[in-house]
């Protein structure tokens, strides 16, 4: 009696689960299916007792059969697209009794809505990027055409005004690009197919873009590679390039004219370590724990450079961590900062 009651209770729970559930016996025959699973696949209870091999002839179940196989594999959260507007996440677990397989439990979770939301988000980012950038590129190219005096000579005053407008426009563009990076990071799909790359080359090409600023600020700049040859490393080179760019950008921004910046690359055991040392304004001790937070800016940084957006280091940290690397720093207010990151070789 009690056993019967317990059984009913368990069945009631299974039948009322929000996820679909199927149980197969040790021979691969379906021994239990709950209403959600029936609804998802559009099938009747008559399916009970059928073997998974017979699923291959059903239009809705055949994909499940291809995923799990004849022997019913263990799978963890595999995505299965049944049709355009039905995407499932399948988990299959072996049911063991005293170490012996007595069947499989298959959990079916409908993720159609999540996938649709993601799609909408990607489209939204894409369209906003475009909407923001198009007027900004018009301004950029118009000012460029004017400033190069292709439409006539400029007076000193006109030149100054155009230069100011160009600087503001560039700032706006950087902001838009940074925002897109941040949204991309939060979307979780941030590191795309990494390829074997030479980090010294990536670093060098970032540095090249800053030669002019380094020269203007009369910064003593040094780039050292401590090993003769660094091993190639599997990274998303565009993202790593962005991380290095942000670090160098900060170092230059917060180092006073005549200061010093040193970048060092070295390979230590199974990782590559990057460091960038500056003689800049440093980070006040009581603010150091916030430095990687989104939109955070040091109180002294705000005074030196009023226009930063507080996203640079957040982006860097996200990129490095997405590569399974670590980032850290040492800093003393008024003396300078050194930022380090490492990337595992495998």
Partner 1 sequence: MKKKILIIEDEETLKFLLSREFKGEGFDIEEAINGEEGLKKAKESKPDLILLDLLLPGIDGFEVLSRLKKDSNLESTPVIIISNFSQEEEIKRGLKLGAIDYLVKANLTLSDIVERVKKTLG
Q: Output the smallest distance, CB 192 to partner 1, in A.
A: 5
Instruction: Give CA–CA dist 35/44, Å, rounded.
Output: 9
Q: Which of residues 180-239 bind partner 1 (CB under 8 A)?
A: 180, 184, 192
Listed ranges 135-143, 225-233, 264-272, 303-311: which one lies at the site for partner 1 (CB under 8 A): 135-143
Q: Does 112 bind partner 1 (CB under 8 A)?
A: no
Q: Does 80 bind partner 1 (CB under 8 A)?
A: no
Q: Output the smallest distance, CB 202 to partner 1, in A.
A: 17
Indicate the SS3 state at residue 101: strand
Q: Does 154 bind partner 1 (CB under 8 A)?
A: no
Residue 5 burial (CB count, 10 A) = 9
In 3D space, the residue among 237, 224, 132, 122 whose CA is nearest the CA of residue 183 turns out to be: 122
CA-based torsion, 297, 125, 245, 162: positive or negative: negative
Q: Which is nearer to partner 1, 182 or 304 (CB)?
A: 182
Listed ranges 6-14, 41-49, 175-183, 326-334: which one lies at the site for partner 1 (CB under 8 A): 175-183
Q: Does 162 bind partner 1 (CB under 8 A)?
A: no
Q: Output the smallest distance, CB 228 to partner 1, in A.
A: 32
CA distances from 252 to 137, 203, 209, 274, 295 (A): 26, 15, 12, 17, 19
Q: Does 309 bind partner 1 (CB under 8 A)?
A: no
- Show the tokens assigned to 305: 């450079």
CA Rg value for the chain? 29
Q: Which is nearer to partner 1, 71 or 208 (CB)?
A: 208
Q: Are 146 and 162 a contacting pair, CB within 8 Å?
A: yes
Instruction: Give CA–CA dist 191/276, Å, rounded.
Output: 23
Q: Which is nearer to partner 1, 241 or 331 (CB)?
A: 241
Q: Which is nearer to partner 1, 172 or 304 (CB)?
A: 172
Element housing 276 (H / E): strand 271-278
Instruction: Give CA–CA dist 23/107, Å, rounded.
Output: 9
Q: Which is nearer to partner 1, 52 or 244 (CB)?
A: 244
Q: Are 20 and 37 a contacting pair, CB within 8 Å?
A: yes
Q: Output the smallest distance, CB 121 to partner 1, in A.
A: 11
Beta bridge partners of 95: 103
Instruction: Give CA–CA dist 228/241, Å, rounded.
Output: 22
Instruction: Give CA–CA dist 55/63, Å, rounded.
Output: 9
Q: Which is nearer to partner 1, 110 or 236 (CB)?
A: 236
How far the first Cα of the chain sits from its last, in Å, is 59
Indicate the SS3 state at residue 82: strand
Q: Does 140 bind partner 1 (CB under 8 A)?
A: yes
The footprint of partner 1 on this chain (CB under 8 A) covers a number of residues equal to: 22
Listed ranges 65-73, 91-99, 171-179, 333-341: which one lies at the site for partner 1 (CB under 8 A): 171-179
Among 29, 50, 109, 133, binds partner 1 (CB under 8 A): 133
Q: Does 141 bind partner 1 (CB under 8 A)?
A: yes
Q: Which is nearer to partner 1, 122 or 304 (CB)?
A: 122
Q: State the pairing for strand pair 20-25/30-33.
A: antiparallel
Among 94, 96, 138, 256, binds partner 1 (CB under 8 A): 138
Listed ranges 82-90, 121-129, 266-274, 277-285: which one lies at the site for partner 1 (CB under 8 A): 121-129
List interacting residues with partner 1 (CB under 8 A): 122, 125-126, 129-130, 133-134, 136-138, 140-142, 144-145, 150, 173, 176-177, 180, 184, 192
């Amino acid at each position: 009696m009690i056993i019967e009651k317990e059984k009913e209770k368990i069945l009631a729970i299974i039948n009322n689960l929000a996820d679909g559930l199927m149980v197969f016996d040790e021979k691969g025959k379906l021994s239990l299916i709950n209403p959600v699973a029936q609804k998802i696949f559009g099938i009747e209870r008559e399916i009970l007792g059928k073997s998974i091999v017979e699923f291959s002839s059903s239009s809705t179940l055949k994909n499940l059969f291809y995923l799990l196989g004849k022997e019913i594999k263990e799978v963890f959260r595999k995505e299965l697209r049944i049709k355009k507007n039905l995407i499932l996440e399948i988990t299959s677990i072996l049911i063991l009794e005293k170490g012996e397989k007595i069947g499989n439990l298959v959990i079916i979770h409908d993720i159609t809505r999540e996938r649709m939301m993601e799609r909408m988000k990607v489209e939204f980012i894409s369209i906003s990027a475009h909407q923001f950038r198009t007027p900004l590129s018009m301004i950029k190219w118009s000012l460029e055409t004017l400033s190069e005096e292709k439409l006539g000579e400029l007076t000193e005053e006109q030149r100054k005004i155009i230069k100011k407008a160009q600087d503001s426009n560039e700032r706006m563009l950087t902001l838009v690009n940074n925002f897109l990076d941040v949204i991309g990071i939060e979307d979780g799909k941030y590191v795309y197919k990494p390829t074997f790359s030479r980090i010294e080359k990536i670093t060098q090409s970032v540095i090249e873009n800053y030669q002019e600023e380094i020269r203007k600020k009369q910064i003593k700049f040094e780039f050292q590679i401590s090993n003769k040859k660094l091993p190639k490393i599997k990274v998303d080179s565009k993202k790593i390039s962005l991380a290095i760019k942000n670090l160098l950008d900060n170092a230059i921004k917060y180092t006073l004219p005549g200061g010093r910046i040193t970048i060092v690359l070295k390979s230590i055991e199974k990782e590559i370590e990057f460091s960038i040392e500056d003689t800049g304004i440093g980070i006040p001790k009581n603010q150091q724990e916030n430095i990687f937070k989104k939109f955070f800016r040091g109180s002294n940084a705000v005074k030196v450079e009023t226009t930063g957006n507080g996203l640079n280091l957040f982006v860097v940290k996200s990129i490095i961590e997405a590569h399974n690397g670590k980032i850290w720093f040492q800093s003393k207010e008024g003396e300078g900062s050194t930022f380090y990151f490492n990337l595992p070789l495998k």
